[in-house]
Structure formats: C-alpha cells, structure tokens
Amino acid sequence: MGLKAVKLYFRSIVCAISMIILTLSVAAFFASKTEPEKTLTLQFLSLLIPIVIIINISLLIWWAVRKKIWLLIPLIGLFFNYKFITAIIGFLPGSSFSINDNSIVIATYNVNYFFYKEDSNLASIAKMVENYTTDILCLQEVQPHPLFSLDEIMSEFKSLPYSFIHIGDHNEIGMALFSKFPIIRAQKVKFPDSGNGFMWADILFKGDTIRVLNNHFQTTSLSKARGKRTATVIEAMGENYLKRAQQARFVRSFTDTTLYPIILCGDFNDTPHSYVYSTVKGDDLTDGFSIKGLGFGGTYRNKLGLVRIDYIMHSEHFRTTFYKSDPSKLSDHRAIFSVLEYQN
C-alpha cells in the first residue's frame, strides 16, 4: 500500500469518526427535551457530551488546518450543543460584588453533612457564608452529629436569625434554609419513594412576599457503585434518572402554581443538558450562571470538578448582578453565591 493509499485510508477513518460524532451530537441535543420514561439511552448519552464536544473541537481543528469542507461536520456538531457549552463555561465578563437596598445575596451549598475528608467544617462554612454577607442560605445534606448539635448549627449561622430546618436521618436527607428576613411560612416536601425532597419558604422582603425553594434531587448513586457489576450500576443509574425526572416535574408543577416571585436553589444531581434541568428551569426561570458566570462553572469536586449540578435560578422579578462558585474546599460540592436585584 502506497503512501497516497495510506493517507486516503486514514482520511476515510477520520471522515467516519466525524459522522459518528455528529450523530452523537444531534442525539445528545434531544436528551434535555426527552422524557427518560420514553428512552433512557439519551440520558446516558448526555453524560458523554463533554467528550463529544472535545472530539468535535479536535476534528474542527484537524479539518480547518487541511482546509477541507469537512470542517462543517464538527462545526454543526458544536452548534447543536452550544447551549451545553455556554452552560458549563461562562464567557460573559464577571462583575464586582456590589449590593444596594434592593439586593438579596443568595447562597446554596450541599455541605455533605458538614464534613469533608473526615474533618468537620461547620465553623468554616459559617464563616464563608458570613464573609459574603449572605441574606438567604439554602443548605442540603444537613444533619446533627455527636460533634455538633442542632442548636450549635443554628448558633454558627447566627447572622441569619430566621430559619427552617428539616433534620435528616438514614431514610431522609436533611435540609435547611436560613434568612436575614422574616420567614412567614415554610414547608418540607418529601419526594415519593425517595429520601430526597425540597422545602419552600415564603420570605418577607421590602414589604413583599418572595418564595424560595431549596431542592435536593435523587443522587446518581455513582459514589456507591465502586466494585459493583456494570449492569448493576447502569440499572441503578437508570432508576435514578426516572426518579429525578418525576421529581423535576413535581417541582415544576409547584412553581407553576406559585404566584410570588421565585428564587430556586439546590443540588439537582444532573447537568445543564439534562431533562431535569430543562424541566425545572422551563421558559420562565433564569439560571444565574448564564447571566454572570465566568470560566468553568463546575460545582461538584469529583469528576475533575467540571460537572455543574448545583444551581441558583430566579423568576423575572429578579436580575442577577453577581455570580460566583466559591473554590473553598469545605465539601464535595462548591458553594454558589449570587446577588439578585429585586425588580419591584
């Protein structure tokens, strides 16, 4: 086989790879709009989107250097997934932390029971929250410990005098909401057939009532999958995709019937290209990262810290003026802080 034949053979392989990756890109595009009950394949495929994007970029460079029209194939693939790219990488210029009388500093944090690498970080987390002059704080995975009681947890967040706390146990994940503003009413809602749930609180701000939702959706179970058979892991992940979809629709129906301005926070355990994210966000909520995010928006420390599964969203009654994913290593997640300006 001559050199020309070898080049032709290699180019044919790259062409085939380009078409396969384009097919995967198009299929992944529909993952966020397709109910997992109809097909789980697209949900699993959405996990490969970062890899697909990297390959598309590599193919684009390859064909561009060779000045071949085939560069349109990876370009189309990137176009189909541009929303995912902008949802994990912020290209907008950030803003300085500034507040006014209409501002609310909101934070959400999966605190991993206030432990990280076997060290208790309750005091450090409380200090970080205070440093951002946080007004409303949503916490997931909250539970007292022999090292600290519920009263001690509340004492650490004394700068936020109003609170609604649901203590976790082995069957249900605990959550908490702290506020500088009076809480008028609040409730914890448990998802069916799950230890997860959400809580909502109506908060009095500048004479108006705003509703804050704190969510924790079904986990992926990946951390518990080590050493198990692949089939068992896939089955567990599939079941959890179905549970998260049901939970997302439940929360969406709740927000649809809410007449107050909404701030929605929490750990979705799913990416911005998922059915869960698309369902909860809908067409009427704004993801703060899309407005003021800069750089990689990963909030989960594992998986190279590139996975974004924690969110702060809001209704049209607010405007995001600041957004930051704090790098402090106090949990397996990153805390998110955002400044929302109330448009009253």
> How far apart (Å, rounded) are the C-alpha atoms in residues 240 and 245?
8
- Is position 261 within any domain? yes
* CATH code for the domain of 97: 3.60.10.10
- CA separation for the pair 259, 254 (Å, rounded): 10
Domain check: are 76 and 96 in the same one?
no
pLDDT of amino acid 303: 61
Of 54, 80, 106, which residue sits at a domain end?
Answer: 80
Which residues lie across from 291 on neighbouring strands?
Answer: none
pLDDT tens series, the chain, 344 aa: 567 777 777 888 988 999 999 998 888 888 888 888 888 888 888 777 878 888 999 999 989 988 889 889 989 999 988 877 777 777 766 567 888 999 999 999 999 999 987 778 999 999 999 999 999 999 999 998 888 999 999 999 999 999 999 987 778 899 999 999 999 999 999 999 899 999 999 999 999 999 999 999 998 765 555 556 777 778 888 899 999 999 999 999 999 999 999 999 999 999 888 899 999 999 999 999 988 887 777 899 876 567 889 999 999 999 999 999 999 999 999 999 999 999 97
Residue 194: CB atoms within 10 Å: 19
The number of angstroms, rounded, from the C-alpha of 200 to the middle of its chain's C-alpha atoms is: 18
Enclosing domain of residue 75 = 3-80
Give the E-state strand segments of the chain in sequence order: 89-91, 103-110, 115-116, 119-120, 136-140, 162-166, 175-179, 183-190, 197-205, 208-216, 262-267, 286-287, 294-296, 310-314, 318-325, 336-342
* 94 touches 337 (CB < 8 A): no
Looking at the structure of the chain, the number of domains it has is: 2
Predicted TM-score of the model (pTM)? 0.88
* Residue 15 within any structural domain of the chain: yes
Residue 86 lies in a domain: no
Same domain, 288 and 337: yes
In a domain, 87, yes or no: no
Looking at the structure, do residues 176 and 219 belong to the same domain, yes or no? yes
State whether 217 and 305 are in the same domain. Answer: yes
69 and 110 together in one domain = no
Same domain for 144 and 262: yes
